[in-house]
Chain A
Amino acid sequence: MLETPVLEAQKVNKYFFSPDKTQVLKEVTFQVTRGEFVSIMGKSGCGKSTLLYILSTMDTDYEGKLLIDGEVISGKSPSYLSKIRNEKIGFVFQFHYLLNEFSVLENVMIPGLKLNKKSRPELEHIAMEKLKIFDMQDHALKKANQLSGGQKQRVAIARSLMNDPLIIMGDEPTGNLDKRNSDIVFNIFKELAKEFKQTMLIVTHDAEFAAGTDRIIEMEDGYIIKQ
């Protein structure tokens, strides 16, 4: 029996309407299976980020069908999509995006608190464990804005893991980091793929980064040209 793909896009079309109607995604169809470490590559403006936001359920303005864990999620209500994002998807963005009002530990915990399935002490423990993976446990009580860029990104990755998501999506997670930090982050992703069998889908334009992944999806002008 074939395993259900974690993520499946069927003939996804996307248009931008301003200034003119332009098609940015054309019949995009692909799958991500469990445990796969996939990268999407392409030139700037080829639609790879747009695709990621559709896959992440945040952008609902598209044509086609999107399945997460075998479940059709196109056309579901925004609050249901929020729940899916909380439970099944972890995010890593280019610009770290931690909540500066909270401590590092709280930042990591928030998705868990939102999911509200475990008690606070349990969540604290889990969050601490996640921070330990990235060697960030010593910074747990600092405010998010007291960290360096690389550290922030590591915390953001820890946060994305908080609810043990089906898939982690990253939008140029190393794009805003220097060489050393981007190496660290890249190694973290590789480790996650190898040791934790974490499914990951990362958008990048860094060929070196992409080369280290299981599969590269190359995009150009809204088409997938090579998988």
Chain B
Amino acid sequence: MKVSLILEIAKALMLARFKQTMIAAIGVVFSITMFVALLGFMNGLNKLLDGLILNRTPHIRFYNEIKPSVNQPIDLADEFSNFYNIIRSVKPAASRLSIYNNEAIIRTLEEDPRVLGVAPKLSAQVFYNVGTIDITGVINGIDVEAESKLFAFTDYVTAGNYIDLKNTSNSIILGKGAADRMMAEIGDVIQATTSQGNRVQLKVVGYYQSGLGDLDNVQSYASIGTVQKMMGETASYVTDIQVKLKDFNLAPAMARDYRDIFGIDADDIQTVNAQFETGTNIRTLISYAVGITLLIVSGFGIYNILNMMIYEKMDTIAILKAIGFSGRDVNNIFITIALTIGFVGGTIGLILGFMAGLGIERIPFETEALPTVKTFPVDFNPKYYIIAAIFSIVTTYFAGYFPARKASGVDPVEIIRGK
């Protein structure tokens, strides 16, 4: 069948009912705009919230957990080997927190091609001595360069320069909450007591603000060397090894493998942060549901308008059939009309949706909790645009399908005689 003739007739019919066609198209424009803007905005927020946790969470974390020994002495005794032994109130064994042979482990991990980077870490419980009172806190000893490269450490240092942590000896970047409590300005020297009883003087070189208030009240950062010195430990004392992978989906399997090889505990990001993924999924689901509802509603609009057009154009359909157009041709004409509305509306909708995204991205969004965010986040992932484009075509096709089938079934004799 000649496509150009079908197109020409479809065009003439649309122009004859230009206003209605426009209204149908505007429906599509609106829903596609909303769909794209909504998903972009929703996922921008999702990414931001996930990033808040996930950017700073190692994909795999190796550590020694304080826990009761799995092998109790009674299990080794021959005389009780045939018994089912229950021991109540088992206490954890005094195991070392430091990871044994951590240099070799780090070297092995760095040689693994799946690994993006490794950062050792050390946590120390301290009391900040402020006048007569002590405030509890945790000082994380970090490899400053690795930490900022792998875990976006610099993003959260809101005042001061992060590299001073490495360059100035006995320096500390205080959590914003802790700093506020101590009223410590940058350049001040604070005093802290470790759990071993050592007193140290630390110079404040910056503030750290993650956006999670509880964390900022407690966590502070110092270089790994400083913390080792504070604790009176050697340079090989490391309590955590943090690993970032190239593909974080490999984390569970790799954590399992290395747990067995090194004989230490390993947590993967998926296990630790399962709840974030659930939240993300549900938010995405809701935004898709709203977007698709909008599209379906606009689909009904198109359905109505095409139906009306068919009643108005019964004569035209009858005459087309009488002069040799088959039901299929008539069907194609109305499907073409529907798809044109979908295509034009969809294209304009995508452009407007993109512009809406740009607009939202400019709205100021400043909050204490999120120091790195100045405006609303929008995700311009092409995936949403592709989904929206496909959906605009699919829904308009189905909206046109039934009216077109009705039109193709019009009996010309009935119309022509019925006058």
Contact = CB atoms under 8 A, between A and B. Distances in A.
Contacts of A56: 322
A97 B324 contact: no
B413 A111 contact: no
Contacts of A100: 16, 316
Interface in A68-91: 78-79, 82-87, 91
Interface string B405-419: 000000111001101
Q: Is the interface of B mostly helix, strand, loop or mixed?
A: helix
Interface residues of A, number: 31
A53 B417 contact: yes
A87 B324 contact: yes
A102 interface: yes
A87 B321 CA distance: 13
A98 B322 CA distance: 11
A42 to B, nearest CB: 15
B325 A116 contact: no
Given A100-B16, A101-B12, A171-B416, A58 B5 contact: no
Interface string B311-344: 0000110111111111111000000000000000
B330 to A, nearest CB: 10
Contacts, number: 78
Interface string A90-117: 0101110111111000000011011110
A135 interface: no
Given A85-B323, A86-B323, A99-B319, A58 B16 contact: no
Interface in A116-156: 116
Given A58-B412, A113-B5, A171-B416, A86 B315 contact: no
Nearest to B13: A101
B66 interface: no
B5, B327, B329, B411, most chain A CB atoms within 10 A: B5
A86 B326 CA distance: 10
A99 B316 CA distance: 6
B2 interface: yes
A78 B408 CA distance: 11
A79 to B, nearest CB: 4
7 contacts: A58-B322, A82-B327, A83-B324, A86-B324, A93-B322, A99-B320, A111-B324
Interface of A: 49, 53, 56, 58-59, 78-79, 82-87, 91, 93-95, 97-102, 110-111, 113-116, 159, 171
Interface of B: 2, 5, 8-9, 12-13, 15-16, 315-316, 318-329, 411-413, 416-417, 419
